[in-house]
Amino acid sequence: MTSTPLKGSDLTAGPLADGTATSVRPRPRRLRRRGRSAPYWFLVPAVLLFAGFTVVPIGYAVWLSLHKVQVKGIGLGKGAREQVWNGIGNYTDVLHDSEFGHSVLRAFGYGLIVIPAMLGLALVFALMLDTPQARSAKFARLAIFLPYAVPGIIAALMWGFLYLPTVSPFYYLLREFNLPQPDLFDGGNLYLSFANIAVWGGTGFNMIVIYTALRSIPQEIYEAARIDGASDLKIALRIKIPIVMPSLVLTFFFSVIATLQVFTEPMALKPLTNGLSSSWSPLMAIYDAAFLRSDIYGASATAVVLALATFALSFTLLRVSDRYTREDRA
C-alpha cells in the first residue's frame, strides 16, 4: 500500500516551520521569557504519546529480542517455562533463516513492479489533468483518487474474488471467447496480482501529491515557454517534470518503504490459494512467528532487523534525494 498522507504532511511541515520561525518579530523581554517554555508545553502531549506508544514498545521489542523461553522437562504446568537471556541468539537465527531472506527478496521483486507502474501512471495522470485541454478534470481527479479511499483489505478481498477462475466475471469472458486463462496465483503471476491491487489503490494518492506540486508552478513560466514556441509535450518534459522532481522523489521514497512492509494484499489472498506461504513477505513472517507460532522472541528480533534495514534504506535514499534536489536548486 502507499504511505499515509499524514507522513507527507509531516515532511512538508519542516520547511514551513523554518520559514515562520525566522520571521517572528522580537517581543518584549518579559513575554519572551514566559513564552520560552511554551513550545515545550505544546510538545508534552505529543512526546508522551510518542514515548508511550512508540519508544516504549520499541524498547520492549528490543528487550524481548534478546531473550528466549527455556522449557524444563516435559514443560507442563506451573514454572515449566522460564524467560532467559539469549544474547544475540535470535539475531543469528534471523540472519541464517534463508526463508526470511527470500521474503525480503520477494518484497523487492514486488516493489520492482509496483513502484515504476504506480508512479509512472500517477505522473501521467497528473500531467494530463494539468493540461488546459483536460475536460471534466474534477471528476477524473476524484475517480482516480477514489480507490485510495477503499481500505486495503477490502480491495484485496475484492480483487481476490476477481482472480478466482470459477467465480470471476473476467474468466467467464475469457472462457466464452476461448482465450487462454492464466493462473493468477501461480509463481510469477502472484507478483503481478499483488502489484495490480497496490497500483489500483495507490496511484490516486501519488497522483494528488504530484498534481498539487504541478498546480503550484507559476503560470508565467508556461506563458514564457509558449512564447518560445514550446508544445504541451515539451512543456511537460522540460518544465513540469523537472520542477515536480522533489515530489516524485518523495512519493518514490514512501513507496519503497511501503513495499518492504507489504502485508495486506498477500495476507488477504493467502486463504484463496495453495501457492502462498505464510512467510511470503517480511511482515507476514513476523506476524506468523508472533501470532501463530507464539514465538514473540524470534518475531521481535526479526522485526528489529527489518526496522533497522528499512531505516538504513530510508536514510540512504533520503541522503541521495537530498543531494539530488540540492543540486537541482543550485
Task: Give me the residues that bind another protein (CB under 8 A), please.
Answer: 14, 17-18, 21-22, 36-37, 39-41, 44, 47-48, 52, 69-81, 161, 164-167, 186, 271-279, 288, 290-294
For residue 155, the minimal CB distance to another protein (Å) is: 16
For residue 124, the minimal CB distance to another protein (Å) is: 34
If the CB atoms of residues 145 and 287 are measured against another protein, the closer one turns out to be: 287
CA 192 from centre of chain:
18
If the CB atoms of residues 33 and 323 are measured against another protein, the closer one turns out to be: 33
Q: How far apart are CA 39 and CA 17, in angstroms?
A: 13
For residue 24, the minimal CB distance to another protein (Å) is: 10
Q: How far apart are CA 207 and CA 128, in angstroms?
A: 11
First to last CA, the chain: 34
For residue 327, the minimal CB distance to another protein (Å) is: 23
Q: How far apart are CA 318 and CA 111, in angstroms?
A: 18
Contact 142, 205 (CB under 8 A): no
Burial class (CB in 10 A: 0-12, 13-18, 19+), 326: exposed
For residue 18, the minimal CB distance to another protein (Å) is: 6
DSSP annotation string for 12-27:
HHHHHHHHHHHHPPP-
Q: How far apart are CA 15 and CA 22, in angstroms?
A: 11
For residue 157, the minimal CB distance to another protein (Å) is: 10
If the CB atoms of residues 44 and 227 are measured against another protein, the closer one turns out to be: 44
If the CB atoms of residues 75 and 120 are measured against another protein, the closer one turns out to be: 75
Residue 91 main-chain phi, psi, to 5 deg: -70, -40
Helix %, strand %, coil % of the chain (to 5) = 75, 5, 20
**Rg (the chain; Cα; Å):** 25
The residues facing 68 across adjacent strands are 84
If the CB atoms of residues 247 and 279 are measured against another protein, the closer one turns out to be: 279
Pairing of strands 81-85, 67-71: antiparallel
For residue 48, the minimal CB distance to another protein (Å) is: 6
- Angle, CA of 115, 195 and 105, to the nearest 5°: 75
If the CB atoms of residues 199 and 296 are measured against another protein, the closer one turns out to be: 296
If the CB atoms of residues 69 and 243 are measured against another protein, the closer one turns out to be: 69
For residue 270, the minimal CB distance to another protein (Å) is: 8
If the CB atoms of residues 159 and 211 are measured against another protein, the closer one turns out to be: 159
If the CB atoms of residues 36 and 138 are measured against another protein, the closer one turns out to be: 36
For residue 266, the minimal CB distance to another protein (Å) is: 13
Residue 68 main-chain phi, psi, to 5 deg: -155, 170
Spell out the residues 6+ positions from residue 3 whose beta carbon is closer than 8 angstroms to its own. Answer: 254, 255, 257, 258
